[in-house]
Chain A
């Protein structure tokens, strides 16, 4: 069985985050992406492979070139992973607020 790559592991790497940022505004070929980094081309290729495997990037063949672009659906999933953490605090604070409102009216 092929182990699915962890999306959060994928975005923990600073180079991979930089690649995602770069592709946020435009689709680029592997060569064009690599020219933005000092790292060796095979290293960038490896990063692209990881990002593609966890579906953060899509590949699109245009003529002879392969363009990489962001998969907005998967990116949204990452943004949403903070949501349970936010909700946990929101629930606590809602509770605090209602308890103290009762406290106030009892005074």
Chain B
């Protein structure tokens, strides 16, 4: 399968770049970042606040199946240029992860396709490694939990 989303994370640096080309016109891609109801769907989170303007604030809240809030994220939108760019900060509340800076650049490729380039800058190379490992660690945890459930059923 073709890898549509690419990650460029050079060794020893404190930033990484995520690129993705979409089969969507630029205005629709940008809309997916601005309309709270749409953000909620593809980010699988609740949008508490999303002020899409310079110096606007945003806050998301993610809950588990039982409705308990498991993760709160927030930040400030620094630059907002429709269908061009969003520069914002991102922080996970109640975690040791420092705030990160995100540069999102939206480009038109054709009338029907567009491209997103997202550069994320972390506080240090170590913080970048920790963030990169999160989904990896979560995957291991999930496998571990499943194993635990299977073992519980056996005894």
Contact = CB atoms under 8 A, between A and B. Distances in A.
A8 B141 CA distance: 17
Contacts of B129: 8, 12
Contacts of B3: 86, 90
Contacts, number: 78
B5 to A, nearest CB: 4
B43 A93 contact: no
B48 interface: no
A86 to B, nearest CB: 5
Most buried by A among B28, B29, B38: B28
Interface string A29-52: 000000000000000000000000
Contacts of A104: 24-25, 28
A74 interface: no
B32 to A, nearest CB: 5
A93 B139 contact: no
Nearest to B25: A104
A81 B133 contact: yes
A99 B29 CA distance: 10
Interface of B: 3-7, 9, 11-12, 18, 20, 22-25, 28-29, 31-32, 38, 41-44, 116, 125-126, 129, 132-136, 138-139
